[in-house]
Amino acid sequence: MDTVGYDKDDHVVTITYKRPERLNAINGELRDDLNEAWARFRDDNDAWVAILTGAGRAFCAGADLKDGAGSAGTWPASFWEIPTLNSFESGWEIFKPTIAAINGPCIGYGITAAAACDFVIASERAVFSFPEVTIGTPTIVGALRLPSKIGWANAMELLLTGDRFDAEQARDLGLVWRVVDHDTLLDEANALARRLCQGAPLAVRATKEVAVRGRNMAWVEAVRFGETMRRVAGQTDDALEGRRAAAEGRAPDWKAR
């Protein structure tokens, strides 16, 4: 992949936007490469946590306005997507933990990607904005995703003004989880990723899936779904290993099976 980096270290994958000359704006090629990277991460049972970041001085400057394919690409439909769910950002079901490491400007589609991640860690150099309405274009996935994550008024301020917010302001809005020194950004993201790898990977994925799906279920149905997931996860090799390790007073050796 020419426009997206994919680096795996043990169980942690780092996916990197690599169009620094265009501030990592998403064109058709990057869109397709990015989809390929997320599909690879999703399907690799030995990949447990992903970090998303940008090369150069930007995280992602949004869709490349000189290339209309940036928001869609040519990724073919298949059994796990419908035509409008054509990317990780728009709703692919990936229940492994994801971390956005925001190293600079995070604009439009960049925020949509960050908001799709479970954790957002930002350099103090990061800035955020949804400028779409200022150029006559509505924001769709961001408008659907943000209100439940950061509250209605905070989401509307981002989406409807087009204003820029620095990292501290974004943290106050709830968009960013932590703000860190720029030079330690990836160290902080990797440290969190290693912590997330300490749990049994299948139990981690089941827990995230319950959290995601349960938001849209009535309480009784959500609890029943969760208890079903608990029983399924309880039959895995890792569940047996966890019980053995606890009884023997040692660290478990997870296999993700």
> Per the structure block, which two tokens stand in for 36?
């390929």
pLDDT in tens, 218-244: 999 999 999 999 999 999 999 999 999
Domains of the chain: 4-196 (3.90.226.10), 201-248 (1.10.12)
Looking at residues 60-67, what average pLDDT do you find? 88
pLDDT in tens, 2-29: 999 999 999 999 999 999 999 999 999 9
Burial of 231 (0-12, 13-18, 19+ CB in 10 A): exposed
How many angstroms separate the Cα of 133 from the Cα of each of 14, 24, 141, 158? 32, 21, 14, 10
pLDDT computed for residue 79 by the predictor: 42
**Whether the predicted model's global pTM rises above the 0.85 cut:** yes
